[in-house]
DNA sequence: ATTCAGATGCAAATCATTTGCAATTAGTAT
DNA sequence: ATACTAATTGCAAATGATTTGCATCTGAAT
């Protein structure tokens, strides 16, 4: 084996059909191949959908927005696990028992938080985060390693306040 | 009605049997009666158990520790809802799909956070929290009201680091 | 075209939590 | 102490999100 590898596919096997035209990002293609996973229509479709979202979206939400139930709900679950493992999406939980995901743009670790309305579930993206020092202090104080955190804010949005 | 109310129960209807001897706290008794809810063996048992815990405990965990499955799992679920509504316990979620609860000691709003080991699930109680100003800034910036937050830390505890 | 590990659809299985309902019980009134 | 009624409970069945077994299908290398 080995060699110059000119046998690589020209990255456009997406010859119509399947889940519609979802141009495979070289990004996705490379990451997947590195793990010998495949560039499938479902995965491309899901990533393309995530690209259009500006807030976390649930798996059911993804499924319903995918072109005419083209892909099975179980496949969306499996795909999100895969993408999460590849650090291409990030999982959030707002406490309602439903996981939500956001696309991780290349080079972005995606660390940020949300302000969620407890009445209508509208979301504001929050970039601020002064937790770094606290994490360090914590690691030092309790001997923990690789300390991270999950932080979400809740409240009542302006629109919902106008009873 | 009204009057001196000498018809009140002497708060010790717990004449043996039932869920064992679980002295009813006047605290519990009063809060419950105020809402015309009843002082039952299950509720006393659960509160007494919670009193012995120093970290959040799951509903199944409570159920299993209760004297010989004396009380139904569904009853524990219902009791925790009640107690949460009465602000006698606080709910925490560590992201594993299981809710955990802590007793709210009288006069304490119980606001604090946790440092959870992602390998063995051991927990460190964290009192520090400098989130107050952030909440205010957020309320001001986005017009949200009653802003609160959920914050938990994750990492690898000293014991689990010693692979 | 051939080949086969990786993916998918579909249905059934899990898991945590909730709910309907008939039987039981706490707290009050008699 | 007895009676009465709403609150509570046990038990089983229902939910809802997520996972999984398995036969079939497909991507990508040869
Ligand atoms: Mn976000
Ligand atoms: Mn705690
Ligand atoms: Zn942060
Ligand atoms: Zn805090």
Above 50 in pLDDT, residue A3?
A: no
Q: Which residues pair with B12 in a beta bridge?
A: none
pLDDT tens digits for range A102-138: 999 988 888 999 999 999 999 999 999 989 999 999 9
Task: Give the contacts of B33 (CB within 8 A, at least 6 positions apart).
Answer: B39
Q: Which of A117, A151, A157 sits opposite B151 (nearest CB)?
A: A151
For residue range B48-95, what is the model confidence (pLDDT) as tens digits?
A: 999 999 999 999 999 999 987 789 999 999 999 999 999 999 999 999
Three-state secondary structure along A94-106?
CCCCCEEEEECCC
Q: Across the strands, what pairs with A93?
A: A99
Q: In this predicted structure, what is the pLDDT of residue A113?
A: 97
| C-alpha gyration radius of chain B | 19
Q: Which single residue is written with the structure tokens 């995918």?
A: A66
- Cα of A102 vs centre of ligand 1, distance in Å, is 6
Residue B10 has, within 13 A of its CA and on its CB side, a CA count of 4
Q: How many CB atoms lie within 10 A of CB A154?
A: 18
| Torsion on CA atoms B144, B98, B22, B66, rounded to nearest 10 | 180
- Residue in the structure block whose two tokens are 């590849």: A86
Nucleotide nearest B97, from its CA to each C1': C16
Q: Which two tokens stand for residue B60?
A: 């199944």
Q: Which of B146, B153, B154, B160 to mutate to test the interface with A (most CBs of A within 10 A)?
A: B153
**Among B residues 130-159, those touching chain A with beta carbons less than 8 Å apart:** 130, 134-135, 137-139, 142-158
Indicate yes or no: CB of A134 within 8 angstroms of CB of B139: no
In terms of phi and psi (left: phi > 0; alpha: psi -120 to 50; beta: otherwise), the region of B78 is alpha
Task: Work out the minimum CA distance from B92 to partner chain A, whole angstroms.
Answer: 9
C1' (D5) to CA (B28) span, angstroms = 23
List pLDDT tens digits, range B91-147. 999 999 999 999 999 888 889 999 999 999 999 999 999 899 999 999 999 999 999
**How is domain B6-161 classified at the CATH fold level?**
Arc Repressor Mutant, subunit A (1.10.10)
Please name the residues in contact with B3: beta carbons below 8 A apart, sequence gap of 6 or more: none
* Cα separation, B55 vs A90, whole angstroms: 28
B124/A144 CB distance under 8 A: yes
* Nearest CA distance, B58 vs chain A (angstrom): 15
Rounded Cα–Cα distance for residues B59 and B63 (Å): 6
């Amino acid at each position: 084996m080995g060699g110059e590898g000119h046998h690589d596919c020209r990255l456009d096997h997406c010859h119509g059909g399947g889940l519609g035209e979802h141009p495979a990002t070289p990004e996705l293609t490379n990451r997947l191949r590195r793990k010998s996973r495949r560039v499938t229509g479902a995965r491309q479709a899901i990533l393309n959908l995530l690209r259009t979202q500006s807030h976390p979206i649930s798996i059911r939400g993804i499924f319903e927005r995918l072109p005419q139930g083209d892909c099975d709900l179980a496949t969306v679950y499996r795909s999100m696990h895969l993408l999460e493992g590849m650090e291409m999406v990030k999982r959030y939980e707002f406490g309602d028992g439903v996981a939500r995901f956001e696309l991780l743009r290349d080079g972005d670790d995606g660390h940020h938080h949300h302000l969620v309305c407890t009445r209508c579930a509208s979301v504001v993206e929050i970039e601020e985060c002064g937790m770094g020092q606290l994490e360090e202090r914590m690691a030092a104080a309790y001997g923990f390693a690789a300390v991270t955190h999950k932080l979400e804010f809740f409240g009542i949005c302006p629109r919902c306040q106008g009873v």
